[in-house]
A and B are shown apart, each in its own frame.
Chain A
Amino acid sequence: MELRSRKFRTLYKTEVGNAQLRANLSKATLQAVDKRGQSFAEVDFKFLQDEAKKIKQESLSRLNDLLSQFEDSARKNNCRIFYAQTPEKANAYVLDIARRYGARTAVKSKSMVTEEIGLAPFLIRNGIETVETDLGEYIVQLAGETPSHITTPAIHKSRTEISRLFHDKLGTELNSDPAFLTAEARRVLREKFLSADIGISGANFLVAETGDIVIVENEGNARLSTSAVKVHIVVTGIEKVIPKFSDLRIFMRLLGRSSTGQKITSYVSLLRGPSTEDEKDGPEEVHIILLDNGRSGLLGTDHQEVLHCIRCGACLNVCPVYRNIGGHAYGSVYPGPIGSLVTPLYFGEQNAPDLPFASSLCGNCTEVCPVGIDIHHQLLAVRHEIKSAKKGGVERFIFRNYRKAMLRPGRYRLAGKIARGLSKTPLLRYFLKGWTQHRELPRFPSRSFREIYKSAKAK
């Protein structure tokens, strides 16, 4: 998708003023937070988090070797591998396959990486009908929007809004019963599955040891998209590879609980390539596209741990900033706390100068991250990099002079006295308008603590 994160300051202001949006988000995210909490009551979160973090650290520390190993395993399983440095290269590769097969329709299951590279719109522009088959993604596609959440793409919409959308686009009756709406979507999508030539999916994990492509989902659409087609194309990031099949025992217990509070998702597909001669179902060809797009630049840096992310969405659900502005405000395919890191780190800090600051650094994201990313301290580190790269400016001037005053207790006392003296004047209110537009100033006392302390001591 088009990166609009530079416009965050404008985008969030519209969203935060949308009461309906905030109500939708509040309901959905708090429900997810509650369910997550309940689901972890029965397992040792800290233990699993620690193990997952160790596996991810190990994987990234020898990523090149692991990728080669995965490549070998996948080739043995008759998959074809393509490394794409950029979105353009990944998209062109997919189009090439689609054209070779004379494909007219592609069915797609949910994948953030395909959103990142804008694959569906690209294929549609090139004459290939590309249908999102995850219910949330389908809703978003029908509405001509982009996902606003990593795991729940249509989280910003209420049932009523969805029923109106279906009514307008599909001609269904106005009925906001989720079962009815799901059945309508299923009816439309079933036709697409039957007529599709190619299926596109992401991958949650790639297992180096065995070549397994692991996909978790709840609707069965990913399984159909990957097995009821002639060609299956996997598009995923290079950081998704893990060493051993047995590592999944950790991730499987963490991922469902972190996203939706499920012990495990309804479907877990372990795919090893095209169908063999004795198999009746399955694709004839399987292609795996491994996307870099800024990822390898983080290897060996202080930000490497950001690549641990398994896209569970837990940090979005707990984030009160996300809850009040929604995913679209971020202007990036990756919203929320992790998005405020991934966006500047993958796509350039100059492209997301405000995102790392759009956090109160409350640390709730770090607390729930299943793979142990220290999200809020990473945000702080990126803030420092952004400020260090920029010379001059009003804010720097203020902080420099603030510091100068703080190093001289006498100046500090005087500055405090003046500020307190000015507290009832319009001048100070204007100077602090970021505060006073939305809140009252505290009632300024006539004496500071140190003045009180000093006079008491003198007595």
Chain B
Amino acid sequence: MLEKNAAAATEPLVELKNVFLVSDRGGYVFRDLNLTLEAGRSAVITGVAGSGKTSLVELMIGRRFAECGTVRLFNRELKKGKKRVINRVREKIGGVGGVFGLLPSLTVAENITLPMVISGIRKKIQQERLLKLLSEFSLLKQAGEYPPNLTRVENYLVQFARASIAGQPLIIIDEPSAGLDLKTYQRIFDYLIKISISGRSMIILTSEKPPLEIPQTDHYLLENGTLI
């Protein structure tokens, strides 16, 4: 059992091997794309608009499936039709931006605690973590608000809080700087650094290379359907 756990610990958190993905229009989105992310490390993937950043996110959350190659997260291979496996993997991922959004029918507090509700974590623990995150992101006043009443920045912060509440080992952030003012951007970046130091992994997809360095991070360029 210990050996099995030790083996699991050394397995990469994310492993994309020789991935080929064809777009709806028939062209290749990815050609022989490879990515390995060890637990505790992070990756910043930079690519221009249309380079396939969102498609890469969709591959990692089991929303799209590669024509060829393997996509493994948390030592589980994501395959079409394996709904249970995909759900278990998604439970371990915190998502911010891009395809990830808030549920308009739930309040801020309910949105943040939703991953814990889905995982069946006890109410007491939910409340403790919720309070901590609401104060950390200065969202205490907005706890009872619904997403349509939030500003863009508040919406983004709520997504960050939701991506962290269940201690998700991997956070995928699509465009962390999108539409944010400098002050909020700096605040978000401080938080990203904090996540990285805490030993959790991140995959940050951005169109511009971040001005600040995040510790334990590898940088990639997404170009011509592959990672450089």
Q: Do A and B come from one complex?
A: no
Residues of A within 8 A of B (CB): none
Q: Chain B: residues with CB nearer than 8 A to chain A?
A: none
